[in-house]
Amino acid sequence: MALISPPTLVFYLEMCDPRDFRPKPPPPGFSCRPLAAPDPELNRWFYVCVGSEYRWTDRLDWSYARWSEYVRRPQLETWIARMHGQPAGYCELEHQAGGNVQIAYFGVLPDFVGQGVGGAMLSEVVRYAWSLPATRRIWLHTCSRDHGAALPNYRARGFSVYRIEPRP
């Protein structure tokens, strides 16, 4: 008898009011800053290193040219979290029409999971997104295959689920 895997659930979350934001204090040695210049290799490296744990596959076959085109778009910012100077996680923020800011990719490197990096990094990028005068909404999606702390982290920072979709 073959086992049937449950469908993957995709959770769409949003924050539409900065008063809903509940930041998490950073752990000692934490810093988080946007990259000064786009770096296709760094985005790809983080995507592979973080995503391999959670079956991120949609970008694995991208060429250098495609990565370069993607990260050099003016609406994309890449943020890097560090612990004691070492890369610990990353976030891709995409500025969209209508005052929307999407957290397009967000992840912590395996060696830093459980050290408070995710909550602190999310706090930094949300604080930044709300500091932009045009921001009306910050949104993202995660799924049931992502780290078990992802959805609770987003909710703890003030995001609300507005849609759930099953995916085969």
Mean pLDDT score, 17-25: 98
Q: Per-residue DSSP letters for 97-134?
A: GGGEEEEEEEEE-GGGTTTTHHHHHHHHHHHHHHHSTT
Tokens describing residue 93: 């923020």
Mean pLDDT score, 29-43: 97
Tokens describing residue 87: 């890369």
Query: What does pTM read for this prediction?
Result: 0.94
Per-residue pLDDT at 53: 86
- What span, in angstroms and rounded, lies between the C-alpha atoms of 112 and 97? 34
Per-residue pLDDT at 8: 92
Residue-range domain boundaries for the chain:
8-36+75-167
For the chain, give the mean pLDDT. Answer: 95
Q: How confident is the model at residue 54 (pLDDT cuts 50, 70, 90)?
A: confident
Per-residue pLDDT at 87: 98
Q: How confident is the model at residue 1 (pLDDT cuts 50, 70, 90)?
A: low
pLDDT tens per residue across span 56-70 = 889 999 999 999 999
Residue the block writes with tokens 């209508």: 98
pLDDT tens per residue across span 72-89 = 999 999 999 999 999 999
pLDDT at 130 > cutoff 80 = yes
Alpha-carbon dihedral of residues 27, 78, 67, 83, nearest 10 degrees? -20
- What span, in angstroms and rounded, lies between the C-alpha atoms of 60 and 48? 8
Q: If you classify domain 8-36+75-167 with CATH, what class do you get?
A: alpha beta
